[in-house]
């Protein structure tokens, strides 16, 4: 069995792994490399393998750093099949269309995008859906999806082939999660790939995040400012809605306008509603609340601004107010317009609730930049900048080690991936120290014989 780290090695984004055994070639994820832009030059490089020889593509979840090059794979000659859970397929379609739109905005008129909309449609046409814990076969390989607890439909993937087993963690969830079911643990495998976005960090307790959110809103109201939250359209926005709903219903925050200013987030929230009573994917507590008639994605003061005109009208609403807009790392989208307006305002607050990759605008602001460039303009940062790590949908070091603990009796080797070098090295050392298992941080395009 041979494993090639095509992406996601030595970096958080671009997840892509090629597993080969005899006459079998399976690709696990095919993500976009993300830094300051969607159009990073690495995404345009040819794949370092024969695309047409790939037997199948397995998708752990729908975040663009795990699916963003799938249409390019199709464009270059891959014809499927693609496998994921049903929600992942639904969400992937929306996220790929949105990524294509952002690419067109970033590219000059002479440059061609990474893929076209027709390539997305072709991908969806060969995309098959599977259930958690239902084994299926590809050329003799037995494949099983486990709920990774990261976002709606996310999975870890276990593959048994040639008498050996390997598990790909995908992205692991930060538990307890308010909407999706908690991480399901794999208990036996010879090899494992584990993500390490927060491999060297420990989040504040998840239970405290709603209290911190309450405090931030109250402080912004007192200052008569605007609370600006750049939120990933997938999962983070829905988590915020769930907890804002609780704060409003319990009378813990004043009734002020709360805007969801992201057409993508609005469409994805509709997908969440589609699966909201499905016990395969949703947390029992959330299902129970909805069965009682609680509209957790709709409460007094909440406004969805779908059109550009509705978005512009937010400016006419006097503070205090809350604006939740995409994108989560301020790569693009409507958040940029709001940042130009409110970052210079000392009465306003910029709240970060998700991972910010190196080089992103969100990371610059988080790192206390005094001035940032937005749409060609230098914008001073005078507002308060806050971060709530517990809103991350990623597991921290404690949870990552716990995932390994369930496998520790059988593992021969662990590969630490999908993290900045410092985070990956920290997790690898912890795995060696706690479990006496060989743990390696692979390099891009490195090949391992298993």
What digits encode the pLDDT tens for the residues 249-288? 899 999 899 999 988 888 998 999 899 889 999 988 888 8
Based on the domain organization, do 253 and 386 belong to the same domain?
Answer: yes
CA distance 442 to 427: 13
pTM here?
0.89
Q: Is the pLDDT of residue 293 over 70?
A: no
Residue-level pLDDT at 290:
78
Place of tokens 């769930």: 242
Per-residue confidence (pLDDT) for residue 37, from 0 to 100: 55
Q: Give yes or no for residue 373 having a pLDDT over 60.
A: yes
Do 85 and 192 reside in the same domain of the chain? Answer: yes
- Give the range among 68-72, 186-190, 238-242, 335-339 with minimum mean pLDDT: 238-242
Query: 383 and 402 share a domain?
Result: no
Tokens of 151: 């976002």
Both 146 and 179 in one domain: the answer is yes
pLDDT at 87: 97
* Same domain, residue pair 264 and 320: yes
Q: Do 69 and 110 lie in a common domain?
A: yes
Share the mean pLDDT of the chain. Answer: 92
Q: Is pLDDT above 90 for 332?
A: no
- Both tokens assigned to 106: 């970033």
CA angle 8, 12, 15 (to 5 degrees): 30
- Give the mean pLDDT of 62-83: 96
**CA-based nearest residue to 366, from 413, 401, 397, 328:** 328
Q: Domain ends where: 349, 364, 391?
A: 391
Residues 9 and 116 in one domain: yes
Q: Are residues 31 and 145 in the same domain?
A: yes
Distance CA 428, CA 416 (A): 6
252 touches 313 (CB < 8 A): no
Residue the block writes with tokens 């305002």? 345
Q: Encoding tokens for residue 133?
A: 């814990």
Q: Do 380 and 442 belong together in one domain? A: no
Domain check: are 192 and 222 in the same one? no
Domain interval for residue 355: 207-391
Q: Give me the number of domains the chain comprises.
A: 2
DSSP label at residue 33: P
Residue entry with tokens 């036996």: 188
Decide if pLDDT at 84 tops 70: yes
Residues 11 and 151 in one domain: yes
Average pLDDT over residues 190-217: 91
Which CATH number is 281's domain given? 3.40.50.10890
pLDDT over 70 at 388, yes or no: yes
- For 28-59, what is each residue's pLDDT tens digit? 999 998 865 555 788 999 999 999 999 999 99
Rounded-to-integer distance, Cα 114 and Cα 290, Å: 40
- By the 10 Å C-beta count (0-12 exposed, 13-18 middle, 19+ buried), 41 is classed as exposed
Same domain, 238 and 375: yes
Instruction: Specify the CATH number for the domain of residue 443.
Output: 3.60.15.10
Going across the sheet that includes 258-261, the strands are: 302-304, 258-261, 321-325, 226-230, 349-352, 384-387
Domain edge (last residue) among 360, 375, 391: 391
DSSP 167-188: EE--SPP-SS-SSBPPPPPP--
Binned at pLDDT 50, 70 and 90, residue 389 comes out as confident
Residues facing 350 on adjacent strands = 228, 385
Give residue 398's pLDDT band: very low, low, confident or very high (50, 70, 90): very high
């Amino acid at each position: 069995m041979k494993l090639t780290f095509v992406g996601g090695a030595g970096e958080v984004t671009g997840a892509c792994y090629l597993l080969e055994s005899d006459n079998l070639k399976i690709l696990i994820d095919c993500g976009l490399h993300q830094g300051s832009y969607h159009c990073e030059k690495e995404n345009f490089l040819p794949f370092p393998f024969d695309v047409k020889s790939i037997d199948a593509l397995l998708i752990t979840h729908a975040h663009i750093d795990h699916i963003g090059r799938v249409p390019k794979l199709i464009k270059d000659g891959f014809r499927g099949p693609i496998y994921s859970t049903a929600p992942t397929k639904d969400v992937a379609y929306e996220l790929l269309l949105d990524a294509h739109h952002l690419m067109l905005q970033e590219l000059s008129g002479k440059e061609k995008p990474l893929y076209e909309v027709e390539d997305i449609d072709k991908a969806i046409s060969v995309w098959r859906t599977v259930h958690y814990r239902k084994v299926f076969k590809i050329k003799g390989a037995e494949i099983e999806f486990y709920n990774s607890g990261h976002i709606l439909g996310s999975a870890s993937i276990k593959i048994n082939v040639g008498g050996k087993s390997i598990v790909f963690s995908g992205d692991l969830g930060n538990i307890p999660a308010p909407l999706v079911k908690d991480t399901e643990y794999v208990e036996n495998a010879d090899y494992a790939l584990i993500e390490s976005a927060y491999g060297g960090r420990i989040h504040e307790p998840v239970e405290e995040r709603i209290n911190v959110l309450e405090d931030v809103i109250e402080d912004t109201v007192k200052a008569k400012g605007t609370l600006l939250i750049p939120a990933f359209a997938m999962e983070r926005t829905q988590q915020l809605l769930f907890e804002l709903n609780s704060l409003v219903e319990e009378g813990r925050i004043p009734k002020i306008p709360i805007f969801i200013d992201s057409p993508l987030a609005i469409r994805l929230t509709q997908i969440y509603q589609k699966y909201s009573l499905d016990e395969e994917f949703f947390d029992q507590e959330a299902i129970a609340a909805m069965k009682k008639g609680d509209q957790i994605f709709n409460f007094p003061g909440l406004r969805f601004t779908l059109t550009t005109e509705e978005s512009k009208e937010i400016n006419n609403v006097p503070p205090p107010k809350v604006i939740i807009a995409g994108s989560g790392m301020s790569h693009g989208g409507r958040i940029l317009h709001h940042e130009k307006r409110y970052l210079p305002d000392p009465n306003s607050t910029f709240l970060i609730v998700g991972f910010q990759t190196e080089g992103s605008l969100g990371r610059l602001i988080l790192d206390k930049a005094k001035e940032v460039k937005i749409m060609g303009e230098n914008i001073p940062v005078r507002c308060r900048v806050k971060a709530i790590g517990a809103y991350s949908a990623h597991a921290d070091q404690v949870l990552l080690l716990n995932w390994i603990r369930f496998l520790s009796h059988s593992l021969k080797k662990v590969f630490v991936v999908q993290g900045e070098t410092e985070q990956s090295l920290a997790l690898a050392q912890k795995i060696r120290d706690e479990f006496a298992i060989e743990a390696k941080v692979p390099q891009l395009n490195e090949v391992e014989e298993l």
